């Protein structure tokens, strides 16, 4: 993990994730901080946080990048594990599902990352 400088923008963006267990889309983040920092800063900070494994991202069905806390893979280099994300079709909430999906090794292909998006209804929309 590289050291990330805790600038004001880094702290602000991290605080959004501390208040929220669900994933936050890039658009929500830009709107949330549009008075405090410009779009480019939001993108840059997110990219840095992702590189440092503080956040990870995945792409929703709408093609929007969403960010959530923590590193993406609990990988031990040899076995690539990845957790799926759940997207609720009704309310649009997305969240990390804390299970490991183990990616088998496939001859002739090198897999670096994988994304699993589960789509359905969350518990709030089912009740």
Strand partners, 94: 87
Q: Cα torsion for 42, 45, 50, 52, to the nearest 10°? A: -170
Q: Cα torsion for 33, 94, 97, 78, to the nearest 10°? A: -70
Q: Which is nearer to Zn ion, 54 or 68 (CB)?
A: 68
Task: Answer whether 96's CB lies under 8 Å from 70's CB.
Answer: yes
Q: How far is the CB of 43 from Zn ion (least distance, A)?
A: 19
Q: Which is nearer to Zn ion, 98 or 107 (CB)?
A: 98
Contacting residues toward Zn ion, per CB under 5 A: 68, 88, 90-91, 96, 122, 125
Q: How far is the CB of 38 from Zn ion (least distance, A)?
A: 27
Q: How far is the CB of 54 from Zn ion (least distance, A)?
A: 12
- In DSSP notation, 70-114 reads S-S----SSS-EE--EEEETTT--EEE---PEEPPP-TT------
Q: How far is the CB of 121 from Zn ion (least distance, A)?
A: 6
Q: Which is nearer to Zn ion, 29 or 96 (CB)?
A: 96
Cα 125–chain centre separation:
22
Q: Which is nearer to Zn ion, 38 or 113 (CB)?
A: 113
């Amino acid at each position: 993990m590289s050291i990330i400088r805790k600038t004001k923008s880094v702290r602000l963006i991290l605080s959004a994730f501390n208040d929220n267990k669900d994933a936050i889309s890039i658009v929500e983040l830009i709107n949330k901080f549009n008075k405090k920092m410009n779009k480019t800063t939001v993108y840059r900070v997110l990219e840095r946080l992702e590189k440092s494994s503080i956040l990870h991202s995945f792409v929703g069905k709408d093609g929007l990048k969403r960010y959530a806390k923590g590193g993406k893979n609990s990988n031990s280099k040899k076995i690539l594990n990845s957790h799926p994300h759940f997207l609720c079709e009704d309310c649009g909430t997305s969240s990390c599902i804390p299970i490991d999906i183990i990616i088998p090794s496939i001859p002739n292909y090198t897999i670096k990352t994988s994304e699993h998006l589960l789509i359905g209804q969350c518990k709030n929309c089912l009740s």
